[in-house]
Amino acid sequence: MKKYFVIGNPINHSLSPKLHNYWLKENNIDAIYDKKKIDAKDLQTIISEVKEKKIEGINVTVPFKKAVIPFLDKLSPEAEQTQSVNTIILTNNILVGHNTDISGFTRAIKDLNFNIEGKKIFILGAGGVVPSIIFALNKMNVSEIIISNRTRQKADDLKSQFKIINVIDWGNIPKFDMIINATSLGLNNETLNFNFSEVGDNKLFYDVIYNPSETNFLKEGKKLGNQSENGKLMFMYQASVSFKLWHGVEPKININTLKLLEND
């Protein structure tokens, strides 16, 4: 039976196996998708197993999206430009790294009732998924991208990768049309210590986190009269693009798949 894995550390929270196994069954594909917690020293071995066809494909999550790159033969243009890989596949005996977070985010935004073109975007955080979000926003022709991260250096490093962004100190709130929480704050119901009371309404509060489905950040945005959206669709879409790359079939996203991501 064909084997697929999502690798990361931590990995326990990952809902990718649930979703991929559901789609495998729905499409009558004889394969299994599992999660594997690994350390950086294990990367080379597990990726070589794809080359040896012991594993058919790998999804990569925090903190290895960049670290896998030296072990691959080739990157898709999007993976190359973001230096971020979340999907590995063997194509004509060549190990290729793809980035499906970009189309995941893009499709999720397009599904919303929010015209993003020409808008001012404020991103909190500078972790693994942020290069993909910046890349996608830039392609969607936003007018400005401002980044703030607790550890300023990480945001400054992003600035050298993406000249178009502006970096501001943690704690400051600029004028924006859309704010994205790309930090891990909220996963355990923590609250960001920001006072959003002056930001006004009719903004979009977007959280990359989908579990819990409504973080305190989203609750606060909503309370102030803003649109709020969690990362569920982004997660679904990135998974569906990986699935299509591996299996050649576009899996269905519907009420049943959305239900799979609800709290156990």
**Min CB(235)–ligand ATR separation in Å:** 14
Phi, psi of 239 (to 5 degrees): -65, -40
Contact at 8 Å (CB) between 207 and 191? no
Write the CA distances from 241 to 33, 91, 105, 131, 202, integer angstroms.
15, 16, 11, 18, 31
Q: What is the CB neighbour count within 10 angstroms for residue 66?
A: 14
If binding means CB under 6 A, how many residues of this protein chain bind ligand ATR? 14
Query: In the set 31, 32, 38, 62, which binds ligand ATR (CB under 6 A)?
Result: 62
Does residue 21 bind ligand ATR (CB under 6 A)? no
* DSSP-derived 3-state class of residue 117: coil
Contact string 199-238 vs ligand ATR (x = CB under 6 A): ----------------------------------------
Is 127 a binding residue for ligand ATR by CB under 6 A? The answer is yes
Which lies closer to ligand ATR via its Cβ, residue 125 or residue 251?
A: 125
Catalytic annotation, pick one of 25, 53, 65, 74: 65
Closest CA to 94 of 70, 73, 68: 73
* Span near ligand ATR by CB under 6 A; candidates 41-49, 183-191, 210-218, 239-247: 183-191
Stretch that binds ligand ATR, among 1-9, 102-110, 146-154, 157-165 (CB under 6 A): 146-154
For residue 37, the minimal CB distance to ligand ATR (Å) is 15
Nearer to ligand ATR, 9 or 21 (CB): 9
CA 246 to chain centre: 18
Residue 65 appears among annotated catalytic residues? yes
| Among positions 75, 126, 142, 158, the unique one binding ligand ATR when judged by CB under 6 A | 126
Among 154, 161, 211, 249, binds ligand ATR (CB under 6 A): 154
The upper half-sphere exposure of residue 196, i.e. CA atoms within 13 Å in the direction of its Cβ, equals: 26
b (16+ CB within 10 A) / e for 115-154: ebeebbbbbbbbebbbbbbbbbbeebebebbbbbbeeeee
Work out whether 125 is an interface residue with ligand ATR (CB under 6 A): yes
- In whole angstroms, what is the distance from residue 260 CA to residue 238 CA? 15
Applying CB under 6 A, which of residues 2, 150, 159, 219 lies at the interface with ligand ATR? 150
Tell me the window of 79-87, 99-107, 122-130, 199-207 that interacts with ligand ATR (CB under 6 A). 122-130
Three-class secondary structure of residue 237 per DSSP: helix
Contacting residues toward ligand ATR, per CB under 6 A: 62-63, 125-129, 149-151, 154, 183-185
